[in-house]
Amino acid sequence: MSASTSPLIHLIDDDEAVRSALALLIGTVGLRVQAWADPQAFLRDFDRQSIGAIVLDVRMPGISGLAVLETLVAEGVDHPIIMLTGNGTVETCRRAFKSGAAEFLEKPVDDEALLDALQKAVRDHVRSRERNAADRDARERYAQLSEREREVLGLIVAGLTNKEIGRALNVSPRTVETHRANLFAKLEAESLAQVIRRYAALVEGRV
């Protein structure tokens, strides 16, 4: 993974001393950090395609961390967001989680708690992006199937044998085998288990 694609932590806090201390701490576990003093500049300029997480202070001048959180969620930003506050209340915590925060930590931040939360957030984000990419790839391959191939695939996923599929579609087992071979090639699948694992939810309309 190159530096430009390795996980990046966006740290937004108007307190310079806190930014410097947390950036140094986060760097100790090998994560890159981009620190922002101005939440408006962050909202304007940060790379939404990057992999990583966001650490966001609740109380900042101009726009609160909660407002930034709600803006990011409304934009569909998928980065896990960890909220920090020196004046936490139950209502603030409730609003943060309800708005989509991944974690809520009080200042002074426990170093281990923050690093554990960040490393989990990064792992979750990487897995989420990989899962989304795999889903897009499956949809694109599925779209290449003919209507008959989709019927055959649906019956394969339902657990029918070639003979049973032939009877259901009123075609010969040899014709079913041809459709089956064609759809396996289009889906670039090497086994029945792979087909079911990747396409069952799509065929059954669950995704």
Per-residue confidence at 1, pLDDT binned at 50, 70, 90?
Answer: low
In tens, the pLDDT along 25-36 reads: 999 999 999 999
Q: Is pLDDT of 88 > 80?
A: no
Tokens of 6: 């390795």
User: What's the predicted TM-score (pTM) here?
Assistant: 0.80
Tokens of 192: 């029945």
For residues 60 and 89, the answer to whether their CB atoms sit within 8 Å is: no
Q: Please state, rounded to an integer, the average pLDDT across all residues of the chain.
A: 93
Tokens of 178: 């041809």
Burial of 68 (0-12, 13-18, 19+ CB in 10 A): buried
More confident residue, 189 or 3: 189
Tokens of 170: 């009123």
Residue 3 amino acid letter: A
In tens, the pLDDT along 58-87 reads: 999 889 999 999 999 999 999 999 999 988
State the average pLDDT over residues 138-159: 94
> Which among 151, 143, 156 is positioned nearest to 186, based on CA atoms?
143
- What's the confidence (pLDDT) of residue 136? 93
Cα(110)–Cα(55) distance, integer angstroms: 14
Q: Is pLDDT of 206 > 80?
A: no
The Cβ of residue 204 has, within 10 Å, a number of other Cβ atoms equal to 11
Picking from 87-96, 107-116, 134-143, which range would have the lowest pLDDT averaged per residue?
87-96
- What's the confidence (pLDDT) of residue 4? 55
